Amino acid sequence: MTEYVTTTPGLYPLPDEEKDVLADLKGRQKGDLIDGDEPPDVREVYEGIRADAIERQEAAGLDLIVEGQHRWDDMLGHPLSVSDAVETRSIERYYDNNNFYRDPAVVGELEPTGDVAVELEAASDLAEGDLQAVLPGPYSLFDLATDEYYGDEAVFLDAVGEFLAGEVDPFPDHTTLFLLEPSLVVNPPGEHAARASQAIDLVANATDADVVVHTYFGALDEETYAHLLDADVDGVGYDLVAAPEATVELLGEYGIPDSVALGVIDGQNTLVESPGAIRERVEWFEDRLPEAIDPDTVYVTPNTELFYLPVSKFEAKLDALGSAYTEVEA
């Protein structure tokens, strides 16, 4: 019998009031204040936002709770941006949208910083339910970064995988780890597809939690997906908002892992889905799978990170997601 688990890929929008406070506090600092260098007054604001986000997820009834990643000004680039081996450079467009991040240029040997582990420790102290960790996948981090140290794409990709595995090692107890890998869709690895899968293995093997590689912004190509299925992970995520038909066709040919994450809530559109509409999208997917394909676990989730949304719409989507299957149980 399939288990349905509601969760999100994190990267939540900053509340408007706190956003203004942070802008004012950071504006008073001398020099270029980057993630990881925040003074106590800035950290205190983030601590309050984290506590509110966890409380809000629990109130919505989500099965797995994320930290929220509100400090990640550079979004998926954040774990590199806080490294001493990285210089943040020019402002770059974040995939094909109106969000931006600072190009993380790797200028030295990558070593784990422990930054994300500290965030998760704080979240684990607050969350009453099961915790889900969130990280960029190694291929997406490799794709978003600039290498000025390793000098070889294959070596650099391996180094990013080892770096992220080192980041995972000190994580507190967590039930799942979502590795966000939009670049597998947006900029397929091609000749590096097997190596990208191996890098994902490195990160996945650093935790005893269930690992889900969540892909979005479209459907994977056949070569990338075939290699991804070889990775030692528990599940793969699919964007059923951007590419439902292409995704189902791909899965019908190549199959699925034991667990799937279904991106059925639009993380970039302010239209709020009803709990019934969420269930219908999941059922639409299940009805189109061959009879022999039956996942053990379905993670029901937004298709993308949620920082694109206004806070009110973000919270409404959390409520709809949290009640989608509790309504059925009731």
For residue 22, what pLDDT is reported? 83
Q: Is the pLDDT of residue 25 over 90?
A: no
Question: Which residues neighbour 74 within 8 Å (Cβ) at sequence distance 6 or greater?
Answer: 35, 80, 81, 88, 101, 102, 104
pLDDT in the model for residue 21? 84
At 127-163, the pLDDT tens digits run 999 999 999 999 999 999 999 999 999 999 999 999 9
Asked if residues 59 and 34 have their Cβ atoms less than 8 Å apart, the reply is no
Residues 251-258, mean pLDDT to the nearest whole number: 94
For the whole model, what pTM was predicted?
0.95
Q: Which helix (H) or strand (E) holds 235?
A: strand 235-239
- pLDDT, position 327: 60
- What domains sit in the chain, N to C, each tagged with a CATH number? 3-329 (3.20.20.210)
Q: Which tokens is 118 given? A: 């500290």
Enumerate residues 6+ apart whose C-beta is below 8 A from 83.
Answer: 104, 106, 110, 111, 113, 163
- Rounded-to-integer distance, Cα 291 and Cα 259, Å: 16
User: What is the predicted pLDDT for the residue at 157?
Assistant: 98
**Residue 195 pLDDT level (bands cut at 50, 70, 90):** very high
pLDDT reading at 303 higher than 80: yes
Q: Within the chain, how many helices (H) and strands (E) appear?
A: 13, 11
**3-state DSSP call for residue 69?**
coil
How far apart are the C-alpha atoms of 69 and 220, rounded to whole Å? Answer: 26
Residues 176-188, mean pLDDT to the nearest whole number? 98
Q: How confident is the model at residue 34 (pLDDT cuts 50, 70, 90)?
A: very low
Residues 51-55, mean pLDDT to the nearest whole number = 97
Residue with tokens 């950071």: 26
Report the pLDDT averaged over residues 48-63.
Answer: 97
H-only helix segments in the chain: 16-27, 40-60, 78-81, 115-126, 138-144, 153-168, 183-186, 193-204, 222-230, 244-254, 275-287, 311-323, 326-329
Please give the residue that has the higher pLDDT: either 65 or 25: 65
Mean pLDDT for the chain?
A: 94
CA dihedral 180, 310, 65, 259 (to 10 degrees): -40
Instruction: State the pairing for strand pair 130-136/100-106.
Output: unpaired
In 3D space, the residue among 88, 202, 81, 190 whose CA is nearest the CA of residue 137 turns out to be 202
Q: How confident is the model at residue 290 (pLDDT cuts 50, 70, 90)?
A: confident
pLDDT at 27: 66
Q: What is the pLDDT at residue 329?
A: 56
Read off the tokens for 115: 């930054």
Is it the case that residue 244 has pLDDT exceeding 80? yes
- φ, ψ (nearest 5 deg) of residue 301: -155, 160
pLDDT of the residue at 30: 40
Contact residues for 213 (Cβ-Cβ < 8 A; gap 6+): 137, 179, 181, 184, 200, 228, 231, 233, 235, 236, 237
223 burial (CB, 10 Å; 0-12 / 13-18 / 19+) is: middle
